[in-house]
Every structure is written in C-alpha cells, then in structure tokens.
Structure 1
C-alpha cells in the first residue's frame, strides 16, 4: 500500500516538474525579444509629412523619432552595412548577437547586398528581385524559424495609379505596404508586444524611428548618428556593447533605467558632445582659415583682373591710334596719288597739246 502511494506521489511530482519545465520553456519562448532593422533606400524625413505613408507615419507617431540621422556614406547600400557595424569584412553587430545565441537574418529586396559577406558572417539571407517577393518569402520562413534580429532592405519605388491623387502618394508607398504587412503579421502571431521596429533611411536627410516594447514614451528628437544603432540594439537585447563598438546607446528613447546608469550615460553623452563640439570648432576654424585664404586669392585675382583690364585698355588705345595713323597714311597716300595723276594730266595732256610745251 505504501509502495503504491509512493509511486503515485512520484508520478505526480514528475508530472508537476514536466509541466513546470514546459511552462518555463513556453515562458522563455514567449519572452523573446524581436528586433527588425528596416532600411528604406532614400526615405527622407519630409516624406513622413501628410498621409502618403500611413504605416510608417503611425510607427513614427507611436514611437521615438529622430529628425536627422547622420549616415556614414552617400551610398544607401553602404549605410545598411554600416548599420550592422561593418568594419572591413566583419559585421560586428550580428557577430555579437550570434555569440549571444540570437539568430540573425537579412531580407534583401534589392539584390544589392553581398551574399558572400553576409554568409561569411554567419547570417541567413533572403534575397529577391523585388521587395514584395522578399517579404513573401520572409513571412513564410518567419512562421517556422525563430529569427530574433532581422534586417530588411527595401528599395522599390512606386508610381501613382491613373486617376490617383498624387498629393496623397509617395514614391516609397510600396515600402510602406511591406512594413504594414510585417506589422500585421506580428499582430496576428502575437509577437508585436515583444518586437522593436527600427526604421531608417539609407540616403541623405533620413530619419530614424524606433517603435516597440522597449520604448518609454513617444517622443521626437533632432539628431543621432548611424553608429548609435548597433549599441542601442545590444541594449534592447540586454547585451552590454563592447567598448570597441562605435556609437552611443540612445538611452533617451528607451525605458527608464537606474539612476547610476542614467548618470553614467549622461556623462558619456556630455563627453561625446564635447568631442563633437571640439571637432566642429576645429572644422569651423579650418573653414574660416580656408575662407580667409580664398578671400586673399580672390583679392589677388581681382587685382590681376584690373591690371589685365588696364593693359588691354592701353593696348586697345594703342591699336586704335595705329589704326587711325594707318587710315591717315592711306588718305594722304591717296591724295598724293591723285595730285600726281592731276599733275600728269595737266603737264602732259593739256599743256603739251595746247601750248606745245614739253616736247
């Protein structure tokens, strides 16, 4: 009897342990953070005005946005790779995440990113000839594979349909539709609450938008740098960024942190701003010096121009004087010839015939 009760108790404990383990595993699975880093090739902050891009604008209004993102290059493809912490042939952000057990995927709707570079950095790749096809393939795979960090590059431009109001249209409407499909998928699968969307433009005057579960309150900021994306992503995943990873964590748009962390962050940001101010001051001084040299050169050029103009004027006067002398010589020569001709007529034709002079 005791043996039977002991077996029942043992089975009950094993069942509880199994249920607890399954619940814990489910909880761990449900507690995963997902980050989607989305680059729209040449999206500008001004494109977000009006109602032309409803999905992107809604994300902006519900999250933190930076008006001006300083890109590292004028080439959008280079900016995508720079956002992944590219240094030569190494993408440091995916490397850090993969070393911490986070699966990384790049969805390339442009076909411009180097698959060799991505594969060498242990990143899974989806590449297609259009944004729509790339998103189709990603949403199919995302249902089966648990990628936690996904970089999406969208570059397809759109044209308004005949009769469509062009004032409510933007060339990045196709990209806006793909982002809407992604958000709808996250909503339907229950992953939106665990997801963070980081949206950036790859060209000039591009914004940076951060939306998700790690954002404290919707806010608008003026400026950040592209190098700030990688350490901020590390912070959202709870990973301490390495010291050699460039950029600063954008603490101001994340959930509140401890006072010590905030103080250290503010000190770091102050030091960074002081360094930037020093660099800008040096650039201004250099520009002013170059401007002074240019002004001196312009003054020299103006003086030389006046000298040349004076010389040309003197030469013109001399030429005009010579032309006048030539005209006078021609006139006097013509007069002399006429006088000689008249003398000849008088001497040999008239006087000789009339007075028999000059035999």
Structure 2
C-alpha cells in the first residue's frame, strides 16, 4: 500500500482529502502545518507528499525547499495543493522542484489521477532495468504507460546485418539508435588517406549511435558489422521522447557518453605513448568477447591493426612474439588467449612476467 503524506492547515480540507485518499486505498498520514509536515516526512518516508502552500509557521515552499535538500526525501514526488492560481506562484513551485500543482477546488478524479500519474513516474524512475533485450522491452512498456504514448517505439524493429555490412557511414544523418541483440559491431574513423582507426567495438546488450542523435549532428564515425548480427533499431523521435521525458534514461546515456569519452581519451593517450606491443596486448583483451565456442577470437589482422593504430605487418610481428612467449595460441588464423594476466602486465609494464 502506497503511503501519502497530506500537509494541510485547513481542518475540513485535510479531513475530506484524507478520506478520499483512504477510500482509494492509500495509507494516509496528515500534518496540520509545514513544520510538522517536514518532521513526518523524515519519520514516515512517504511515497508521495501533497502539501498546501499558504500555511502558518512554515509555508509549502519552505517545506519543499527543506525536503529537497535532504537525500532521504529529495526523490519523493511532491504535489502542491492551493487556492493560488497565479502563474508566478505555479512557476515558483515548479522551479523549487514540485512535480505537480492542483488548485482548489478540485474534484476527486483530478486528485487521484494526478497522484497515480506521479506514483507511476516515480516507480519508473526508481526501477532498475537490465541492459538486455528483455530489460529494454520492460522499460519501453513502462514508459508507454507513464507517457501515455501507446505508439512509443511501435516502429522498433529487429534488423539482421551480415558480416561486413554497413550500418551507417560517416556524414550520414542519424535516424535511429541501435541496440545490439546478437553479434558485434565496430565503429571507426577514417583518415583522408584511407586509413581507419577502430574507436569502439559493441557487443550484445550495448547501445550505440545515440551520440549523433543527441547532438543533432551527422555521424562522425562509421559502423560496420564485425560478425553476423541482429540489431534492435529504435527511431530517433522515440528515443528523444524517452530521453527528454525521463531522468533515468538521460542519466544512463550521459553515463555511457562519459564512459565513451574516457575510453577515447585513454585510447589517444595510449596511441601517443604506448608501444605497439602494449597496444596490441590491450587490443587483444578488448576483443576477447569476440570468442567463438572454442574460445578462439575471430578478428582479422587488418581489424586488429585498426584498433592498435598501426600497420598489419607490425601487429603480426607482435602476435608472433606473444605466441613464442606462450601468451596466445594461433591456429588457422584464429587467436586464443592463454595468459590474460600476463597480457595485462604487458599493457602496464611492457614486460611479460
């Protein structure tokens, strides 16, 4: 049962509203003023707070300001209940972080609809979603209910791509965000002289292609399937609707963006200062997820060289050294990592110990 804290100094309004909420199946806690309301909010940790604005001792703005500064109450949905209807009052409440604003007099349906909408949205924001196809489906389903958009992601499709098939090219206008269902995808930058540098490899349960959608620019990289793969394709408009409407969506993708920036900064640093031997060891560890059923890494020497940022011949020489040292095995052109810990030491110290 959801718990609601009702802060209202008018006895009649407090009792009538409390009765409505109780009949609707909520556990109701009431406070006659703002000061008492803050104390009860800290004690009871309600699922939602309904608060009048004009009250003695501490008004509704003060209540919201205090609770929004405390970690344990900052995330509780907050609805203002007041007779004041001026736009400046509404704007002040929203700027402080209120989730909704109901004006007196209000009817039962209006009140209950506002509460249900805020509780649904709060549940969605608190809910953790796995970065799997099932987690994506669950999130889209819940978001449809909260946003009341039944058509959200209805155009989402699963598209197969054959190995070496182009997904998008540098300079293309972004129309979709991609989620890897199966297989692997490489994203790379092209130099005017025709050389390529692989900047990222995406495997099952990874999102990619969203940076250009968020920035509103063309793709600055190209994407090609490294293996036969299946991608869930989410239309640009639907993705932006989710991103803009839900803090949990935006925060998760901001985290991904920050992670990608950090990875690319490390990659640039390593290209500048690490030896080919170090970079090759790091690339092998990075592509380890491309293993087949026999634990062999399926990647061409050309692609491996594009990750390392050097010529294929240089990578082949380093791979031969690693084989002689017992760090890897090579059979039929496929690579199997035998001593991952020693490859990690190569990355750190340039010495296999």
TM-score tier (shorter)? under 0.3
Structure with more contact order per residue of length (Cα contacts < 8 Å, sep ≥ 6)? 1
Specify which structure has the higher proportion of helix.
Answer: 1
Structure label with greater radius of gyration:
1
TM-score norm. by structure 2 comes to: 0.23
